Structure 1
Amino acid sequence: MGIINFQGKRDKAASQPVEQILVSDYMTTKLITFKPEQSVEEVIETLIKNRISGGPVVNEKNELIGIISEGDCIKHISESKYYNMPMDNSHTVEKNMISQVETIDKNMNIFDAANKFVSSKRRRFPIVDNGKLIGQISQKDVLKAALKMKGNRWK
């Protein structure tokens, strides 16, 4: 018995290539970054002032060395209170940041990036080129790309 195909006749338009939308098209390049020697208190003030939930940590060569988030700051506050320690400038970003940072390639398709967000449960990914931080893509950036594509075929 032969194979029966239930797809029916396809339109010619469906086989035309869809324009690739890359992470680099939607990434943010004007980033608020932190230095490893900054105090956690400075980070908290910056996060609140700029209404952001975290940011990349870079060294003097603009190389990505970590990420610090609201959660990292809250953990620090919680531990300081638990151990009855004052929050002072000796508590640095370097001691509280996450140094194992997952990045996204600037040439990744935006919808592959969406899948990466879903599987990792992260809110943002830094983008690095030759070791240097060049941008960041957030879940909101992916949503903007999806809205722009509304009505077009996604690939």
Structure 2
Amino acid sequence: MGIKSFQGARRQQTSTTDTTPLKVSDYMTTNLITFTPNQTIESVMQSLIKNRISGGPVVNEKNELIGIISEGDCIKQISESRYYNMPMQDKTIEKHMAMNVETIDGNMNIFDAAKKFLDAKRRRFPIVENGKLVGQISQKDVLKAAMKLKGQNWK
């Protein structure tokens, strides 16, 4: 009577890189609310409120990213218009948007993107391909990605 070796059923090793998308482009928003440089500050404020967003990319007629406008930029205009006692109805966002916009690569790993958010202290990063705006990743998108990956090895 020989000794029989018994080995129980092995759980298959799952690799997050093979099964779970980890790129920024997998979690970015592509259906964006964008603004144009000749829009009035007032119309931008209405859009931010209506769409419950804190800012958005500014693009030209070729959908090329030229800036970002945020709630903070609008609040600054409210404050300045009061200080100088000048109405702001006709002011466009062109001179008030942030123009040195930091973008993020759609192929970047989502965890590297999380680190970039921490280092840059930004709420959102646009994604540009071939000069055109293709999407945006926000801190909330990174949180959603983390929740989808919950329970897996984060490598």
TM-score, with structure 2 as normaliser: 0.88
Cα separation, 1, equivalents of 2:72 and 2:47: 14
User: Aligned pairs, how many?
Assistant: 141
- Shift in Å, 1:17: 5.0
Q: Note the aligned Cα RMSD (angstroms).
A: 1.3
Q: Secondary structure at the match of 1:21?
A: coil
Q: Which has the larger radius of gyration?
A: 2
Q: Alpha-carbon deviation of 1:88?
A: 1.6
Give runs of aligned pairs for residues 125-136 of structure 1, distance below 5 A: 125-136=125-136
C-alpha distance in structure 2 between counterparts of 1:21 and 1:148, whole Å: 10
Task: Indicate the residue corresponding to 1:152 in structure 2.
Answer: 152
Identity %: 72
- The amino acid that maps onto 1:86 is P
User: What letter matches 2:16 in structure 1?
Assistant: V
1:62 aligns with 2:60: no
Q: How does 1:67-146 map to 2 (within 5 A)?
A: 67-89=68-90, 91-146=91-146
Shift of 1:95: 1.1
CA distance in 2, matches of 1:152, 1:65: 39
In structure 2, what is the Cα distance between the partners aligned to 1:120 and 1:153? 26
Q: Which consecutive segments of 4 or more residues in structure 1 shift more than 3 A?
A: none
* Other-structure match for 2:6: none
Q: Distance in 1 between matches of 2:45 and 2:89?
A: 12
Equivalent residue number for residue 41 of structure 2: 40
Q: Give 1:126 shift.
A: 0.3
* Residue in 2 that maps onto 1:8: none
Q: What residue in structure 2 maps to residue 26 of structure 1? A: 27
Question: What stretches of structure 2 of length at least 5 have no aligned partner?
Answer: 1-11
Give me the TM-score of the superposition, normalised by structure 1: 0.88
Helix, strand or coil at the partner of 1:41: helix
In the alignment, structure 1 segments of 5+ residues that lack a partner are 1-12
CA distance in 1, matches of 2:89, 2:31: 29
